[in-house]
Amino acid sequence: MNFFRKSIVLQFVAPAILSILTTATVTGFMSFQAANHAVKEKLKLSDLQKIVELKAEKIDGRLKRAKETSLSLARDPSLISWFSDAERDKKLGKLVLEKITELSNHYDYSTVSAINELTYHYWIKDNKLLSTISRDEPHDAWFFRFMASGQEVEFNIDYNKDLESTFIFTNALIGTKDSPIGSAGVGIDLTQSAKEFSEIDSFKGRSWLVDEKGIIKIAKNKEEIGTDSQTLFPQIVRNKIFDENDDSPVVLEGVSSSNKEVYYAIAKLKEERWFVVYEVSIAMVTKPLITIRLITITSAILSTVFAILIFSFISRRISRPIQHLTEISNRIAEEGDLNIEINISSRNEIGRLAKSFNIMTKNLRELYSSLEQKVKDRTRELQETLNEVQLLKERQDGDYFLTKLIIQPLTYNHAGDTNVHVSYLVDQKKKFSFKNKHHEIGGDICIADEIELNHIRYTVYINADAMGKSIQGAGGVIALGVVFKSIISRTKSLESKNLFPEKWLKSAFIELQTVFESFDGSMMISLVLGLIDNNNGFNYYINAEHPWPVLYRDGIASFIGSEDIMYKVGTMDQESRFHIKTIQMEAGDVLLIGSDGKDDIKIKNKEGIVELNYDENLFLDFVKKGDGDLTKIRDLIYNSSEITDDFSLLKLEYNPAPKKRPHFPIKEYLSLAKEQLQNSDIEGSMKSLEMAYRVDPEHPNVLRSLINVNRKLKKFEDSAFYCEKMIHLDPSNTDLILECANSHFKSENPERAIDYLERIRLRNPKSLPTLLLYSEILIYQKNYKRASKIIKQLIGVDPDNEKAREYYKLIEEEIGFFETEIP
C-alpha cells in the first residue's frame, strides 16, 4: 500500500486499467444478459408459438376435412331416407353404398362407414355389410355411447401398438339429437402425420397431442400414448389444459419430468378440445450465447493488456519530470537552498509547473528577507483589532447588565397565602459576563403577587414569553413588567378593589394589549395571566397563545384549556376573541405553566440522532416522573436534552387548611324550616333559616334555602344578598351567578345585575340565558344601542329564538333601525 501511494505511475495506471476492465466486464455482462433476454423473449413470444401453431394446424387440417366429410355423409338425404325406411329400398341403398365407396376412394380415407340405429347394420365401402353391432359386444359400445351423448360430431384416436399405426375416427350424427337415425364415420390413417408431428426438430424438442382429460393421444415415445399427462407435465401445463376459459396459445416455463428447465408451448386445436404441447430445453435454445460470452471475455482481456501497455508508456513520460521536480523540492525542504532552479524544457502542464516553481523560489527568497518585520506588523494589527473587539464586547455586556438590573425588580414573588403556594424557575438562554460575574438575559418572566377584590384575597400570577432573543426579548419583558406592576399597584388602591376577578383580568389584558399594539407588530408576547381565589382555590386565567397549562392531580399530568386560545398580546383586533377560562383546583393540585422553552428541546431519537422535539406530550412525562416538583422536572429536562430557548416554569400548588364547621344543630333548623314551608308558614320558615344563618353563615344548604324562600316572598334584594354570599363559596356556579343577576334586576338594581352578567359573558360569551337577560335589562334601561349589540350576539347563537325576535322588533320600533337583520 505504501509503495502504491509513493508511485504516481501506479496511481495513474492502476485506476485507468481498473476502469477499462470494469467497463469491459460490465458492458460484456450487460450485453450477454440483454442477448440472453432477447433470445428467450423472441423464442417465447414468436418462435415457439409459431412452431406449436403449425403443429396444431396440421392436425386441425386433417380433422376438419374428416369432419366435413362425415357431416356431408350424415346429412345426405338419400342416406337419411334409406336408414329411416329400415333399408327396405334396395335401389336407394345401392346409391348410398356407392357414395360411401366413392368418398373412401376419392379422399384416400382408411374407412368410410354408416351405422343404422334401427337395424344396427354396419356398412362400409364396396357395398359391404361389415357387421351387425350389438349392445352385448364391448367393441360396439362406442356407437351406443355416441348415440346417447347428443353430440353432433365425435373424434376418437386409436393407436395400434402391434402395427405402430395411429388412426383417427370422426363420427357424425345422422338425424337429430332428439331422433337419431345412426352415425356416419370417417377413419384416417395418421401414422405418417403422427411421426412428423412428434419427430425431434432442430431444438430437439418433443411434441404431444393431449385430449381435454389430460390423456396422451400422440407422442414420440409410444409407451406414453394413452397414459395420463400428470407424469410428464408440471401442474402449470395441466392447469392450462383444464382451463376452459382460455384457448389462446401460450408459452410457459417449467421443470420437465427429467428435472430440466424447459419451455412448454401449448396450442388448442380448433376442431376439438385437444391440445398440442411442445417441450424444448431452455439450455438448448440459449446454446449460441456461449460463443458471445467467450468473445466478450476475450475482448475484455485484450483491452486490459492493451491499456496496460499504453498507460505504462504515457505514465513514464509524465512521471520522470515529476520525479525530478520532487527531488528539487526535497532539497529545498531539507537544505533550505532557494537558489536551485529546475530545468525542464517541455511546454506542457509540467513545464509550466516547473516555471511557476522557479518563480515561487524567487519570491520566497525575497519574502524571507522581509519576513520578520511583516510578522511584527501583522501581530500589532491583530492585537489592535482584538482590543477593539474586546472593548465593544465589554460595552455590550454593560448594556446587557443594565438591562438585567431593570428586569430584576420586575420579576418577583410576593404571594404568601398559606393555601396557595407559588414558585418559579427562570433560565434565560443568553449568558454573559460582566466584571467577572456571570449573568443572563432573555425574554421569559414570572411574576406572582396578592390582591384583594370585593373583600376576597386572590393570588395573581403571570408567566410570559416575549418575542425575540436576548436584548429584544428583554425589551418586551421590561414593557410587560412595568405595565403589570402599575396594574398591581393601582389594584391595591381603594378605587380598584370593587372589581370582580373576571373584570379585573379583562381590564389588565386590555391595558397590556394597548401598550403592545403600539409597537406595530415588532413586539408581541405570549402569556398566561390568572387569579386564584385563596379561600376556595377557584382559578380564573387567560391564555394568549402560550403553551397549555398542565394540571398535576393524583399522580396524573394533563393539559387544560387547550381550546379557543387567544392570539399573542400585541396582535391587532383580538378583543372579540377574549374569554376567560376557569378551573376548580382541589386540595393537593399542582398547576404548571411554562414557556415554549420546555418543549423546544433537542433530544435523541431511537436511532441516536439528535433532533428537535415535536412531541408536546413529552413534558407530561417529565411532570409525572418529577412528581410535580419544579427542580426535579428541570433536572429531568436538562439531563436528557439540549435547551434551545429561554426556559421558565411557574408552579401553583393549592393546599387549603381543613375548615372546621360549627357544631350547632343546623340540620334541626333546616328540617324545621322545611316543615314550616310545607305548612305554608313562609315567615316562620324564614326566621328558622335566619337563625341557622347566624350559627353558620357559610353553610351552602342554609344559603340556598334562604335564596329560595326570599324569592318566594319576592324579597329579591335579600335573595341577591344571599346569592352573593353563596357565589363567594362557589364561584364556578354560573347558574347561581345568573340567578343573582336576575335577583338584582328584580330588586331594581340593574347595574349590579349587569356586573354579574358580565362575569358569565367573559367566561362563556355564547351563554343563551345570559344574553337574553342582558338584552332585557338594557331595554329596560333604554340603552338601545348597547342592547342591539347584545341581541346581535344572541341572534348569532340562536337565530330562531322567539324572544330575540321580540326584542328585535321592540328596538326597531324605538330607534327605527337595527344593526343586523333576522332572516
Contact present, 300 and 310 (Cβ < 8 Å)? no
Q: What's the confidence (pLDDT) of residue 788?
A: 87
At residue 17, the pLDDT reads: 66
| The pLDDT value given to residue 649 | 96
What pLDDT, in 10s, does the model give residues 15-67? Answer: 666 776 677 677 666 766 666 666 666 665 567 777 777 777 777 777 788 88
Read off the DSSP letter of residue 816: S
Largest CA distance in the chain: 146
Q: Is the dihedral of CA 95, 98, 100, 103 positive or negative?
A: negative
Could you give the dihedral angle defined by the CA atoms of residues 11, 15, 21 and 27, in that order, rounded to the nearest 10 degrees? -170
- Backbone phi, psi, residue 321, to 5°: -65, -35
What's the CA gap between 622 and 618, in Å, rounded? 7
**Would you say the pTM of this structure is higher than 0.85?**
no
Cell 399530568, residue? 557
What letter would DSSP give residue 116? E
Q: Provide block-wise average pLDDT over 10 residues at a time, the chain (823 residues).
A: 55 66 69 63 66 78 81 85 87 86 79 87 84 85 84 77 69 87 84 62 74 78 75 77 72 76 80 79 68 72 74 65 70 66 66 72 70 70 68 62 75 90 90 75 90 92 88 83 89 77 93 90 92 95 94 94 84 84 95 92 86 90 94 93 90 88 71 81 84 86 89 90 92 93 93 92 91 91 88 87 85 67 50
pLDDT in tens, 356-383: 777 777 777 667 667 666 777 777 777 7
Q: Please list, in sequence order, all residues whose beta carbon lies within 8 angstroms of the beta carbon of residue 101, skipping any fewer than 6 positions away.
A: 112, 125, 126, 127
Q: What is the DSSP letter of 566?
A: B
| String of DSSP letters for 458-483 | EEEEEEEEESSSHHHHHHHHHHHHHH
Rg (CA), the chain: 55
